[in-house]
């Protein structure tokens, strides 16, 4: 069984998440924490395999919890489960090594999909010895599938970053606005945006100004 620690300051939300976890075959709730300090102590004491970690906690940020876990000897994986939608938080969580990032609210099917993906990777790395490149590729695809198949010159992590910026935006973004949010050049960002349009994951519309060429505005339409 994969043992899960649920961390959320809202007692009712934590209870719902526990119910979701228990409904997924192969998973069980090892414990519940409602503060950052309690989460760190619980990880040390319970040694869970996976932590469902909220970012907004009453004492310290979930990002700080993640940082302290990574600096310590904790081996638990972390799946961010939060209402935090800003790109800076998402980028920091990804760099901190979360296996996935779920934005609230979400239903059981969404969490089940992420847990099942995690289980594939977790069990695939449970043995010892060496693995082949194909095995590694399958594990990373299970954890962090890229939005669409990417052409040469575009990378999965950067595609996830650009796609994430579009997903959490109400309305649309220009290539410049998107580039500012994800910390890339406008030219590089536009390549990803145009690729998503061609793959049917995003749509583009033209905004006409008083002079010059119309501005291309992008909106995410994929899953």
Q: Is residue 87 part of a domain?
A: yes
Per-residue pLDDT band at 37 (split at 50, 70, 90): very high
Per-residue pLDDT band at 44 (split at 50, 70, 90): very high
Per-residue pLDDT band at 138 (split at 50, 70, 90): low
Show the domain range for 82. Answer: 2-143
Q: Are residues 107 and 137 in the same domain?
A: yes
Q: Is residue 150 part of a domain?
A: no
Q: Are residues 112 and 205 in the same domain?
A: no
Q: What is residue 147's predicted lDDT score, i.e. its pLDDT?
A: 47
Whether residue 146 is predicted with pLDDT greater than 50 in this model: the reply is no
- Alpha helix (H) ranges present in the chain? 11-23, 36-46, 62-71, 87-95, 108-124, 133-143, 156-167, 175-182, 186-198
Q: What is residue 143's predicted lDDT score, i.e. its pLDDT?
A: 58
Compute the mean pLDDT over every residue in the chain, rounded to the nearest whole number. 86
Domain CATH for 199? 1.10.10.10
Q: What is the pTM of this model?
A: 0.62
User: Is the pLDDT higher at 109 or at 6?
Assistant: 6
């Amino acid at each position: 069984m994969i043992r899960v620690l649920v961390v959320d300051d809202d007692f009712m939300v934590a209870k719902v998440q526990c119910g979701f976890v228990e409904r997924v075959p192969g998973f069980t709730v090892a414990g519940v924490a409602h503060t950052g300090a309690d989460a760190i102590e619980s990880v040390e004491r319970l040694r869970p395999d996976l932590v469902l970690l909220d970012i907004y906690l009453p004492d310290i940020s979930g990002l700080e919890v993640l940082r302290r876990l990574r600096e310590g000897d904790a081996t638990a994986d972390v799946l961010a489960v939060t209402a935090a939608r800003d790109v800076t938080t998402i980028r920091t969580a990804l760099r901190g090594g979360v296996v996935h990032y779920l934005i609230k609210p979400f239903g059981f099917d969404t969490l089940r999909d992420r847990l099942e993906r995690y289980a594939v990777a977790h069990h695939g790395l449970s043995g010892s010895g060496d693995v082949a490149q194909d095995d590694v590729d399958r594990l990373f695809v299970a954890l962090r599938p890229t939005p669409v198949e990417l052409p040469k010159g575009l990378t999965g992590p950067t595609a996830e970053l650009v796609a994430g910026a579009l997903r959490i935006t109400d309305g649309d973004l220009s290539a410049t606005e998107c580039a500012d949010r994800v910390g890339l050049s406008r030219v590089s960002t536009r390549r990803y945006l145009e690729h998503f349009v061609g793959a049917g994951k995003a749509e583009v519309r033209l905004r006409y100004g008083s002079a010059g060429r119309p501005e291309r505005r992008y909106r995410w339409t994929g899953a």
